[in-house]
């Protein structure tokens, strides 16, 4: 079975052709980073307009790259949310129209479930049950996956997602968008022990995250050194290359303790062979230890 998948939930227009649920025949992505960069974040209306321009070329390229024709497609799937409403409408409406015109079945896919299912596209997919850390631009969630349709939300951010914290701090520093990649690159040049920003660790009995305090701590540090925040002024600070490292370190270190807690929680249920370590499947972010 060959499925055409379409994604337009935020600032990337993407289409992929997947065979038998696990063989990726093609995957085409059109990014909008250059459009949103000067605004320091995604502008929803601009994102929707860019999706409308890119959707047909991206889908056409995905089909051609897969070496198939439209007649070979057995079904269509598209992201139905969560995401930017206008952006979602472009991909979702295109998928419905494509499927209706070709007489094909179609289905809307939950964005977060799509991240979870992506681990089955690798060469060594996990065996059920497993725990997954889903860290995307707007979400930082922990799920206990017991079957293909059963996902228990064990913990989530209570405020900013990890990606949002990156982007907001990058904006404070005048680094542009997207902030995560820029901060990570600069962090490689810094000394993580120079400044001790707080590492959020909420109640030990739960698995929730919090990153707004870290973001606020960075803002206070900048205010104390320079008096006030002003877009772009941080580009001239001599400690610029090190500050992202001090912010990056506690943000990433706040995750492993939670994951170890999850491992200890699961071990008595005989889901894990030995405590306290476990194979924790992640969505997009790799914590540094």
Is there a single domain that holds both residue 56 and residue 100? yes
Cα gap 32→219, rounded to integer Å: 28
What is the arithmetic mean of pLDDT over 30-55?
92
- Among 118, 148, 179, residue at a domain's last position: 118
137 and 272 part of one domain: yes
Judged by average pLDDT, the poorest of 101-110, 165-174, 253-262 is 253-262
Q: How much is the average pLDDT of 77-88? A: 95
Residue pLDDT, tens place only, 135-176? 777 788 888 888 888 888 888 888 887 778 888 888 877 777
Whether residue 181 sits in one domain with residue 108:
no
Q: What confidence category does residue 227 fall into, taking pLDDT thresholds of 50, 70 and 90?
A: very low
CA distances from 186 to 36, 110, 142, 149, 251 (A): 21, 34, 28, 40, 15
Work out the pLDDT band at 258, boundaries 50, 70, 90: low
156 shares a domain with 92: no
CATH number of the domain residue 75 falls in: 3.30.420.40
Output the pLDDT for position 122.
76
In this structure, are strands 2-7 and 75-81 parallel, antiparallel, or unpaired? parallel
Check whether residue 173 and residue 82 sit in a common domain: no
Whose structure tokens read 């419905």? 96
162, 82: one domain: no
Q: Which of the pair, 203 or 166, is modelled with greater confidence? A: 166
Question: Cβ neighbours of residue 242 under 8 Å, at least 6 residues apart?
Answer: 189, 190, 191, 194
Among residues of the chain, what percentage have pLDDT more than 70?
73
Q: Which of 118, 135, 154 is the last residue of a domain?
A: 118
Which residue range forms the structural domain that includes residue 140? 126-289
As a whole number of angstroms, the distance between CA 51 and CA 12 comes to 8
Same domain assignment for residues 153 and 253: yes
| Domain count across the chain | 2
* Whether 246 contacts 192, CB under 8 Å: yes
Same domain, 130 and 100: no
Instruction: Summarize pLDDT for 119-138 with one digit per residue, the tens.
Output: 888 778 888 888 888 877 77
CB atoms within 10 A of CB 148: 11
Region 211-233: mean pLDDT is 67
Q: Same structural domain for residues 136 and 86?
A: no
Let me know whether 137 and 263 are in one domain: yes
**150 and 253 fall within a common domain:** yes
Q: Which of 83, 118, 153 is the last residue of a domain?
A: 118
Q: What is the pTM of this model?
A: 0.74
Residues 112 and 204 in one domain: no
pLDDT computed for residue 50 by the predictor: 97
């Amino acid at each position: 079975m060959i499925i055409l998948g379409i994604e337009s939930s935020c600032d990337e227009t993407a289409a992929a052709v997947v065979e038998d649920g696990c063989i990726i025949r093609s995957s085409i992505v059109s990014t909008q980073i250059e459009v949103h960069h000067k605004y320091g974040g995604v502008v929803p209306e601009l994102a929707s307009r860019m999706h409308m321009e890119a959707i047909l070329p991206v889908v056409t390229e995905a089909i051609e790259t897969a070496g198939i024709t439209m007649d070979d497609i057995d079904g269509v799937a598209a992201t139905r949310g969560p995401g930017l409403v206008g952006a979602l409408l472009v991909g979702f409406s295109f998928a419905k129209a494509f499927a209706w015109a070709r007489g094909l079945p179609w289905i809307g896919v939950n964005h977060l479930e799509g991240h979870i299912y992506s681990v089955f596209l690798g060469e060594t997919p996990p065996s059920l049950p497993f725990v997954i850390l889903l860290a995307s631009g707007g979400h930082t969630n922990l799920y206990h996956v017991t079957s293909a349709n059963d996902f228990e939300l064990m913990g989530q951010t209570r405020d900013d997602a990890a990606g949002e914290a990156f982007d907001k701090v990058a904006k404070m520093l005048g680094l542009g968008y997207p902030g995560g990649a820029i901060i990570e690159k600069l962090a490689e040049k810094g000394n993580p022990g120079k400044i001790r920003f707080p590492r959020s660790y909420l109640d030990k009995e739960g698995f929730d995250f919090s990153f707004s305090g870290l973001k606020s701590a960075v803002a206070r540090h900048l205010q104390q050194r320079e008096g006030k925040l002003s877009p772009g002024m941080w580009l001239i600070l001599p400690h610029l290359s090190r500050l992202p490292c001090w912010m990056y370190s506690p943000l990433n270190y706040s995750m492993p303790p939670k994951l170890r807690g999850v491992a200890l929680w699961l071990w008595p249920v005989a889901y894990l062979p030995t405590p306290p370590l476990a194979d924790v499947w992640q969505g997009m972010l790799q914590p540094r230890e």
